[in-house]
Amino acid sequence: MRSLLALLCLCGTALSHPGFRLLIPNGINVPNPCINVVGLWNAVGHNIEIGGGPGNVFGADFVAANTQWTKDLCQKDSDMDGKTNGEELGDPNCVWKQGDAPAGDATGHPGICEPMSDANCMKINANITCI
């Protein structure tokens, strides 16, 4: 079982794009929104925390923005939870540039509707996998 888990972790790392996390504010500090889970969501643009598989709505919007943090991407509410991507990633004024420190901490996940227990979010998050 341990070797299977290790293999899954390696596959997730190989299939995701960890460098993309540096192209968004707080990309390496996005909280894991899964209920009763403490930690970070490492593959921000994916439906699975470890990456691989299909991307989530924020991942699709990030690709559509040519993998750049733009004002439009910042102001968008990709996951339809009532908070902009910038608010969730600690850049509420959409002024962050790569290499800068974000204005604040990440308070949510831009690709997963929160709170996950909300009936509306449960529908939106149908393809999200919490492990």
pLDDT digits (tens, 9 = 90+) for 55-102: 999 999 999 999 999 999 999 999 999 999 999 999 999 999 999 999
Query: Which residues does 102 contact at the CB level (< 8 Å), separation at least 6?
Result: 25, 26, 89, 90, 91, 96
> Which pLDDT belongs to residue 115?
97
Q: Concatenated DSSP letters for 41-89? A: -S-TTBSBTT--SSB-HHHHHHHHTTTS--HHHHH--TT-SSS-HHHHT
70: containing domain: 1-131
Q: How many structural domains are present in the chain?
A: 1
Chain segment 7-31, per-residue pLDDT in tens: 333 333 334 577 899 999 999 999 9
> Which pLDDT belongs to residue 49?
94
